[in-house]
Structures are given as structure tokens and as C-alpha cells.
């Protein structure tokens, strides 16, 4: 019964997120920055390993995209205290893209990966490991709510 409720809750959450993503992608780009939060929940005891691999292999790619102007800013947060297991996440990476069009258009990251990581076998093995030690990962486009406006 507990698993049924968990499955139902996950299904509802994915439906909500899918609706949000659809609305965000469907809206015309206004030239405003577009923010996406990326959540990572690691298997117990692997948060430090995940962070080490992220900083080694993924963060340099993100920094390069900031230098190129595709992204405006990238940062990572982690909770100060713990939550329930169902709501737990270990790291949240927030990326501010130049605009929604840039965030949603295809971007060939392979050339950057080959430039930054000539040893592609090691890079691929470490990136595979980074995802093997995850329990969950989800992306959430967000928008600012104008509390002063109508």
C-alpha cells in the first residue's frame, strides 16, 4: 500500500512538472533570463563522491557555457539540515540561461567535452559513475512571481 501511494505521488508530481515544462517551452522567448533548477539525490554515503565528480567533469562544461554567453550564471546549493527521505535531495544546481530559446534549443556539448577532456574513456567512465550513484535526478524550470504587480 505504501508503494502504491508513493507511485501515485510520483505520477502526480511528474504530471505537474511535465505541464510546467510544456508551458515554459511553449511560451515565446521574451529575451528574459530563463532559470532551471537541477536536483540530485545521491545514494546514501555517496554525496561527497558525486560532488567530486561533478566538480571535475561537469562544472567546467557549465563554466565554459557561461564564458560563451549561453548561460549567465551557475551555482550549487545543498540543504543545511536533513528532511524526510521522500523529500530529500543532496544538491541543487541552478542555471540561469540567457533566455528560454537558448535553454531549449539543441546545443552540441560534444565539442566542448572533447576539448576539455581529451581522455574521453576516463571522462565517460567517471560520468557514468556520477549517475550510477544517484537515487534520483530531476530538472525544474522556475519563474519569478511578481509579488508587487497585479
Read off the pLDDT of each residue in 103-121 and give the average, rounded to a whole number.
95
Rg of the chain over Cα atoms, rounded to whole angstroms, equals: 17
When divided into structural domains, the chain yields a total of 1
Read off the pLDDT of each residue in 113-132 and give the average, rounded to a whole number.
97
Residue 149 domain-assigned? no
Residue 71 domain-assigned? yes
Cell of 47: 554525496
Residue 106 domain-assigned? yes
- Give the pLDDT band (50/70/90) at residue 149: confident
What pLDDT score was predicted for residue 31?
A: 87
Residue 41 makes CB contacts below 8 A (sequence gap 6+) with: 88, 89, 90, 134, 135, 136, 137
Domain span at 122: 2-142
What pLDDT score was predicted for residue 1?
A: 52
Residue 16 domain-assigned? yes
Residue 55 domain-assigned? yes
Comparing 89 with 27, which gets the higher pLDDT?
A: 89
Residue 19 domain-assigned? yes
What tens digit of pLDDT does each residue of 2-42 get? 554 444 444 544 444 444 444 444 454 478 999 999 999 99
CATH of the domain at 120: 3.30.70.100
Question: 43-51: long-range contacts (C-beta < 8 A, 24 or more apart)?
Answer: 43/133, 43/134, 43/135, 46/133, 47/90, 47/91, 49/129, 49/133, 50/90, 50/91, 50/130, 50/133, 50/134, 51/91
Cα angle 66, 49, 139; round to 5? 50
pTM of structure: 0.77
Q: What percent of the chain shows pLDDT beyond 70?
A: 81
Residue 38 domain-assigned? yes
Amino acid at each position: 500500500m505504501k508503494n502504491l501511494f508513493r507511485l501515485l505521488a510520483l505520477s502526480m508530481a511528474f504530471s505537474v512538472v511535465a505541464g510546467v515544462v510544456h508551458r515554459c517551452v511553449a511560451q515565446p522567448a521574451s529575451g528574459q533570463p530563463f532559470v532551471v533548477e537541477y536536483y540530485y539525490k545521491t545514494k546514501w554515503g555517496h554525496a561527497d563522491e558525486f560532488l567530486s565528480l561533478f566538480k571535475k567533469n561537469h562544472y567546467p562544461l557549465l563554466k565554459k557555457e557561461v564564458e560563451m554567453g549561453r548561460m549567465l550564471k551557475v551555482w550549487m546549493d545543498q540543504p543545511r539540515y536533513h528532511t524526510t527521505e521522500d523529500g530529500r535531495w543532496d544538491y541543487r544546481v541552478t542555471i540561469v540561461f540567457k533566455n528560454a530559446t537558448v535553454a531549449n534549443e539543441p546545443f552540441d556539448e560534444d565539442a566542448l567535452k572533447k576539448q576539455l577532456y581529451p581522455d574521453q574513456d576516463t571522462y565517460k567512465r567517471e560520468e557514468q559513475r556520477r549517475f550510477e550513484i544517484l537515487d534520483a535526478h530531476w530538472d525544474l524550470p522556475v519563474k519569478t512571481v511578481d509579488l508587487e504587480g497585479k
